[in-house]
Structure 1
Amino acid sequence: MTGEFSWAPDGPNAVIHGDNLPVLRSLPDASFQLIYLDPPFNTGRKQLRQTTKSVRSESGTRIGFKGQTYETVRGVVTSYDDAFEDYWEFLEPRLEEAWRLLDATGTLYLHLDYREVHYAKVLLDALFGRECFLNEIIWAYDYGARSKSRWPSKHDTILVYVKDPRRYHFDSEEVDREPYMAPGLVTPEKVARGKLPTDVWWHTIVSPNGHEKTGYPTQKPLGILRRVIAASSRPGDWVLDFFGGSGTTGAAAMSLGRRFVLVDQNPEAIATMRRRFADADVAFYAG
């Protein structure tokens, strides 16, 4: 580690080892053009009962789904799931900080799976405002176990919210293009160029034997992060990921000429990022 972390617009790319909430609270407002988050998916939550009970709050300060206050939304979703309550008690203040830290033209990408994404949509509508919702991206892949008792789950969801729906940055021309699924229906010129991605991204996971593999269990593909960063930031912009994991956000940002701050409290994640950035200009700090 190189000492105490203090962010500056002209500072180095940084990895911070520690609890992300105090780190976030130490950062100045509107410092980041792009925030990508891949938090724990809460796969071990235990459902206690199926019904819900709506409890309205007269003291609510944010308007959420169907005009209810944000306190009401949380009351509904936590009434049947204790583990879920713990999860959102953890994540909600960090998402509030994410909103504060976004530049006026900035974008948040929140990466979850089917277990929590529907609740996250309600929460982010309350935090950001429904008018700030930009996209629901489906990342579809084809790898892993096959269920025979239901349709196999083979996708993640990335919710995309902007700080200001009138000013946000998005440049589709900068993203990688995809092959046409029916190339015979378009001109050879279009086939050669490829088509712009839609909100459904077909992309393989990180291969267990591929060159990208770091050994970190929740590593995401570099191609997914490159697409996110290319579309929603400019060269020289700052990118933040406070569930840094294997460091893919930093690797993609660096390859595209962006600057980054990554935070993680898992020593294994920090060790993985140290190996990954061993030859790069990245400063490591204790949070």
Structure 2
Amino acid sequence: MLEALPDAPPPLWHAGAPSTVVLGDNLEVVAGLPDRSFRLIYLDPPFNTGRTQTRRSTTSVRTEGGAGSVIGFGGRSYERIKGDLLRYDDRFDDYWEFLEPRLIEAWRVLADDGTLYLHLDYREAHYAKVLLDALFGRESFLNEIIWAYDYGAKTKNRWPAKHDTILVYVKDPASYYFDSAAVDREPYMAPGLVTPEKAELGKLPTDVWWHTIVSPTGREKTGYPTQKPEGVLRRIVQASSAEGDWVLDFFAGSGTTGAVADALGRRFLLVDSNPAAVGVMRERFAATAPGIRFTE
């Protein structure tokens, strides 16, 4: 009599799962996710600090055609563009070898009508823009959002750097989801130049977002050093997902993406390799979203 084989372990994530936080290596976790599963992906990776990252052997393959076959800037292939750029800066070479396979996986799991938001600072945005043009296709570039703030130390020997860049790419430029009507409006900077009705309604945000950082004494503060404000994520989630959609963030940090997604009726998958980050998320979600599943 044949012995019954043990049941296969359940997948770490599936479309019917509850909102989930995973402690683990994000590349390994995302590599196990199904294709085209998430309408919205927000990534806030660690900025390039010059530290050498562990390199992984990767093959740049897109589901529909190899990335090396994607024609980018000046008609050159993805691998050619990558090679040319990486020769400029050895530190960036290390950083991109860390980030590139994760972006390839993000492209794979992004739904056909989905959008990727990649949050970077001024040191990396220009490199990433050209490389993402080649990886996603230049026609898939949607926006460069500037998040401007005015807080912290100020230098007197150059213009103080007070902004981050959020690069926005869509999977299919012919059919991506974007709902501007769902986005919270903001006051006009010169309300006297528009009608009273328009001034009362407010205007849609542009690609320049003036928003303070997380206040050291505000209700949002978790103590996590790279925490981003809920107001910035709120615009992203409102515009590029609908109620009931899945949102993915695999550099989850303090869990702001999940907090906003949950408040707006979306489901989320958050991944972080730092136990301290997952501890912050446990505490953050305990009162507001007690049904979240934590796993590793």
TM-score (norm 1): 0.92
1:32 equivalent in alignment to 2:38: yes
Q: CA deviation at 1:187?
A: 1.4
Q: What CA deviation, in whole Å up to 9, does each residue of 1:182-218 have, x standing for no partner?
A: 1111111111111100000000000011110000000
Counterpart pick for 1:195 among 187, 193, 203: 203
Does 2:130 correspond to 1:83? no
**Preserved CA contact (<8 Å) 2:20 2:294:** yes
Secondary structure of the residue aligned to 1:272 is: helix
Q: Which residue of 1 aligns with 2:57?
A: none
> Pairwise CA RMSD of aligned residues?
1.6
Q: Partner letter of residue 17 of structure 1?
A: L
**Counterpart contact for 1:70–1:126, Cα < 8 Å:** yes
1:138, CA displacement in angstroms?
A: 0.4
Q: Following the alignment from structure 2 to structure 1, what is the Cα–Cα distance between the partners of residues 11 and 220?
A: 29
3-state SS, counterpart of residue 80 of structure 2: helix
1:265 and 1:63 mapped to 2: Cα distance? 34
Q: 1:262-277, aligned counterparts within 5 Å?
A: 262-277=270-285
1:172 correspondence with 2:180:
yes
Does residue 107 of structure 1 match 2:107? no
How far the C-alpha of 1:127 sits from its partner, in A, is: 1.1
Residues 12 and 60 of structure 1: is their aligned pair in 2 closer, same or farther, counting only changes over 3 Å? closer
Cα contact 1:205–1:220 (8 A) shared by 2 = yes
Task: Work out the CA distance in 2 between the residues paired with 1:193 and 1:34.
Answer: 27
1:13 maps to which residue?
19
Give the TM-score normalised by the residue count of structure 2: 0.89
The residue number in structure 2 matching 1:43 is 49
2:255 pairs with 1:247: yes
Please say if residues 50 and 92 of structure 2, whose CA atoms lie closer than 8 Å, have aligned partners that are also in contact. no
Count of aligned pairs: 272
Q: How far 1:75 moved relative to its partner? A: 1.8
2:77 counterpart of 1:69: yes
**Structure 1 unaligned blocks of 5 or more:** 47-58
The alpha carbon displacement at 1:7 in A equals 1.3
Q: Judging changes above 3 Å, is the alpha-carbon distance between structure 1 residues 4 and 221 closer, same or farther for their aligned structure 2 residues?
A: farther
Q: 1:78 offset after TM fit, Å?
A: 2.1
The aligned counterpart of 1:225 is 233
Q: Which has the higher contact order (CA 8 A, sep 6+)?
A: 1
Per the alignment, in what secondary structure is the counterpart of residue 149 of structure 1?
coil
Cα distance in 2 for partners of 1:25, 1:80 equals 30
Instruction: Supply the AA of the counterpart residue of 1:94.
Output: R
Partner of 2:3: none
**TM-aligned CA deviation for residue 61 of structure 1:** 2.7
Query: Are the structure 2 counterparts of residues 16 and 242 from structure 1 closer, same or farther at C-alpha, using a change threshold of 3 Å?
Result: same
Secondary structure of 2:69's partner? coil
Contact 1:207 1:213 in 2 (8 A): yes
Partner residue in 1 for 2:292 = 282
CA contact (8 A) 1:45 1:84 kept: no
Alpha-carbon offset, residue 44 of structure 1: 3.6
> 1:116 deviation in Å?
0.4
